[in-house]
Amino acid sequence: MKNNVVVAIDDVHPEQGWGVEGDVQVQYLENLHHNYGVKFNLFIPSNYHGKYPITKEFVDFWKQYDWIEMSNHGHFHACEQEDIGEMEFVELDYGSAVQRIQNSLDLWESCGYKPKGFRAPGWGVNQQSADAISSYFEWVAGHEEINKGINWGCHFFEGCDGINEPDSLSLYGNTFMFQSHINGTHNDNVWKEENFLHFEKVIEYLLSQYDLQFVTISEIK
């Protein structure tokens, strides 16, 4: 049996430096695909911080790559409670979560795309918002500790080895699940040159040790 490799990238949105045409991060992804066949799941907030709504131009740019899957990463990637960071779906009850998801999917639909999968901003949810999420998406990608005790009504994928971590290569079933952020100052696993070069070495090591196939999450569901 082949081992899957999934590479997830959070917070991609239509802002310079965060995943638009011409960004160096896009070049890194193109290089990894062309040199090794790597595929990517982009987790995209539909209106990041209420300032950067997705556009048809942005969605069409990513649709041109058949090795990219765009996935939902909440609507605003922000919340009113200051003590929970940007965990948008921690503070929402079922009805509020349904409305937030519907607003997000309406925007996606206007751009000509329907995401199959979801990851909550900050990965945090409560049971009511998880129930709402499960009713809209085929699968959820989360964290085994952050989401501990949550019951999902759809497929749940766990795993979060950072692209920058030198020694953490964990198999979740038969899948290596790598986690990253497109940019930002709050995370170490962003797509900067140092991490890109390190991750190239990780991929080369895995290829030398395992029979691999690079997939998106929907391809292994």
The pLDDT score that the predictor gives to residue 13 is 97
Q: What is the dihedral of CA 215, 216, 219, 221, to 10 degrees?
A: 120
Q: Are 169 and 199 in contact (CB under 8 A)?
A: no
The pLDDT score that the predictor gives to residue 64 is 97
The pLDDT score that the predictor gives to residue 2 is 92
Q: What are phi and psi of 23, to 5 degrees?
A: -70, 145
Q: Are 219 and 66 in contact (CB under 8 A)?
A: no
The pLDDT score that the predictor gives to residue 75 is 96
| DSSP H helices in 70-192 | 94-110, 127-134
Mean of per-residue pLDDT scores for the chain: 93
The pLDDT score that the predictor gives to residue 57 is 98
CA distance 159 to 166: 16
Q: Are 43 and 73 in contact (CB under 8 A)?
A: yes
The pLDDT score that the predictor gives to residue 63 is 97
The pLDDT score that the predictor gives to residue 145 is 77
pTM here is 0.94
List CB contacts of 208: < 8 A, sequence separation 6 or more. Answer: none
- pLDDT for 142-185, tens place per residue? 887 778 889 999 999 987 788 998 666 788 889 999 999 999 98
Dump strand ranges (E) for 16-67: 40-44, 47-48, 52-53
Element housing 212 (H / E):
strand 212-214
The pLDDT score that the predictor gives to residue 166 is 65
**pLDDT less than 50: residues of the chain:** none
Core vs surface per residue 88-122: b (16+ CB within 10 A) or e: bbbebeeeebbebbeebbebbeebebebbbbbbbb
Vertex 141, ends 49 and 162: CA angle to 5°?
85
Domains of the chain: 3-186 (3.20.20.370)
Q: Are 45 and 79 in contact (CB under 8 A)?
A: no
